[in-house]
A and B are shown apart, each in its own frame.
Chain A
């Protein structure tokens, strides 16, 4: 699904490029405005006005706040309090960032968050891939019921079971273990993700049975088939699940706020927001910039996967 979308996107772009070369105003597919209208002098004028307005407006609304944040951290607290504010920092220096790293102890919190995200990724892949494979290809007794029970949890928004989930982590039933302040409190609940199982199962369903049968005839065990046949062809969906798992742990706020109350174990989001009032303004802003760098970098690198996964999820999720 997602690789289809990605390929379709690539094709569309390629076609778009070709179309642009031949005739600027004859697009690949017909949309709301007809190419004919767009080709007239008035149409062209309207088109370019709208284009420029949209580009300027989007830059102002979505990029300017980030510019304000990045430059805000380079101003002194005195300059930040000035009215009217300066568009460019007067004597820009990086001490806001340096101080943020030191005073907010960001090294520790970024390491923590990385550990939580990495473990959650490992558990999610290990648990959800095997489960989806079992439900899709091994089809055990009650498999449909189990899948139904898993998908039913999608109807329960996470916020409404926040308190019982917290109490469960605090005192695990039967085992009576307290997972508070341990990475397990992040890792294990992250793996209980019905949407991942749904996406993976749907992808595995689309793998031709002949491929699996052939391996079976060769005497390969189910574990072997999963590892050497199913996983190699499932790279696109594994990518989507991986990115979303890591990004979700990185973005999550309420859950780590509750289950990691120890100041030394917080995630970067929780740490910054709890220290926000104790540090100077420019240091806080520097911290905000540093905290958002990892997810923005992930977005830069995996942009296509993220957008493909978003539409795959949006259509069905």
Chain B
């Protein structure tokens, strides 16, 4: 359709050109006809918002009147906010805790699963099941489990004669509760990716290591880990980038409380924009988060390029 129409014009103009040039022109016109949908979508919903994110953080907008340039005012506002430091600390702690559990555990699970010759399909299916739940469902489900009274978790603790916890209601346990649900619903993808990587390790390496007298743990240390080094590094960076954007857990479970114990940077950004209608402040927070995450992205890019080689 587009192609047929656009073909006519350059062909007419290019009549005196060599057939080769004509073909090139025609190929380019067709190609851009095919590309225009993607170019429009990217321009509006990806490229322009990235530029606007930067602009937004230096502007003051009220959406009825004009937009003013305010220099670093927005940054000053959010940095002076007493919650600002809390939000970054919470985000960092959340990310570290999520890594401590959610990074090591899937790798360990993958190593064990790779050794099992039975129930492989079942175990793989089951570990990925929570990933397929809509995140809002998983989070609301855990909200019910965290109920200090009849909630599932305290009932299990009681069954084991352990002290019960206040989970989301106490500022000591609220953040770790968010980490738990986040880990539960994301564990599966990491596990399956590691499992795929483990299956590419040549068996001879294990054999050779064993002949050299390496025990199980040394085989993991000197064969498994070096052989999956790149994928481990890639997943580490991806997980940092993903968890630092944490929003839905505090939004649905705690609303940032108790006592701002679960306010994250992304959540604070949302609050600035939609609760305080200060898009400039939200934009400033977004830009800071973007710069931090781009640091990790840049490392990730280098690593994955190394992997491609």
Which residues of chain A have a CB within 8 Å of any CB of chain B? 5, 12, 16, 20, 24-25, 27, 29-34, 47, 50-51, 54-55, 58-59, 61-63, 65-66, 68-69, 72, 80-85, 123, 126-128, 130-131, 133-135, 138-141, 143, 146, 149-150, 153-169, 172-173, 188-189, 191-192, 194, 197, 221-223, 226, 247, 250-251, 253-254, 258, 268-270, 272-273, 276, 281, 284-285, 288, 291-292, 295-296, 298-299, 303, 306-307, 310-311, 314-317
Number of A-B contacts (CB under 8 A): 309
Given contacts A83-B150, A156-B294, contact A20 B117 (CB under 8 A): yes
B163 to chain A, nearest CB (A): 16
24 contacts between A and B (CB under 8 A): A31-B114, A31-B203, A55-B122, A59-B126, A62-B126, A65-B141, A65-B152, A72-B144, A84-B159, A123-B41, A126-B37, A127-B38, A133-B34, A134-B30, A135-B31, A156-B50, A157-B241, A160-B287, A162-B269, A163-B53, A221-B4, A272-B140, A285-B144, A299-B132
B65 to chain A, nearest CB (A): 14
- Look across to chain B and name the residue whose beta carbon is closest to the beta carbon of A149: B47
Instruction: Report the Cα distance A276→B141, complex, angstroms.
Output: 11
Whether the Cβ atoms of B41 and A222 lie closer than 8 Å is no
Instruction: Report the Cα distance A276→B287, complex, angstroms.
Output: 33
* Interface-central residue, B1, B53, B134, B308, by most chain A CB under 10 Å: B134
Chain B residues, CB < 8 A from A164: 48-50, 52-53, 56, 283, 286
Whether the Cβ atoms of A143 and B31 lie closer than 8 Å is yes
Given contacts A157-B241, A307-B128, contact A30 B203 (CB under 8 A): yes
Whether the Cβ atoms of A168 and B35 lie closer than 8 Å is no
Tell me if B127 counts as interface (CB < 8 A to partner A): yes
Chain B residues, CB < 8 A from A141: 28
Instruction: Report the Cα distance A24→B118, complex, angstroms.
Output: 10
Instruction: Report the Cα distance A139→B4, complex, angstroms.
Output: 19
Residue interface bits B282-309, CB-to-A below 8 A is 1, else 0: 1100110110011001100100100110
- The stretch of B8-16, B82-90, B189-197 in contact with A is B189-197
Instruction: Report the Cα distance A197→B1, complex, angstroms.
Output: 22
Chain B residues, CB < 8 A from A127: 37-38, 41
Tell me if B100 counts as interface (CB < 8 A to partner A): no
Whether the Cβ atoms of B117 and A140 lie closer than 8 Å is no
Within 8 A of A (CB), among B204-240: 204, 206-207, 210, 216, 219-220, 223-224, 231, 234-235, 238
Instruction: Report the Cα distance A169→B216, complex, angstroms.
Output: 56
Interface pairs A-B: 3 shortest CB-CB: A30-B203, A131-B38, A140-B31
A283 to chain B, nearest CB (A): 12
Chain A residues, CB < 8 A from B290: 156-157, 160-161
Instruction: Report the Cα distance A201→B231, complex, angstroms.
Output: 22
Tell me if B76 counts as interface (CB < 8 A to partner A): no
Whether the Cβ atoms of B150 and A167 lie closer than 8 Å is no
- Look across to chain B and name the residue whose beta carbon is closest to the beta carbon of A269: B136
Partner of A32, one of B114, B289, B301: B114
Tell me if B119 counts as interface (CB < 8 A to partner A): yes
B164 to chain A, nearest CB (A): 11
Whether the Cβ atoms of A288 and B141 lie closer than 8 Å is yes
Whether the Cβ atoms of A281 and B144 lie closer than 8 Å is yes
Tell me if B276 counts as interface (CB < 8 A to partner A): no
Within 8 A of A (CB), among B104-157: 111-120, 122-130, 132-137, 139-141, 144-145, 149-150, 152, 155
Partner of A273, one of B47, B199, B242, B252: B252
B213 to chain A, nearest CB (A): 13
- Look across to chain B and name the residue whose beta carbon is closest to the beta carbon of A133: B34
Chain A residues, CB < 8 A from B99: none
Partner of A310, one of B28, B44, B155, B192: B192
Chain B residues, CB < 8 A from A251: 134-135
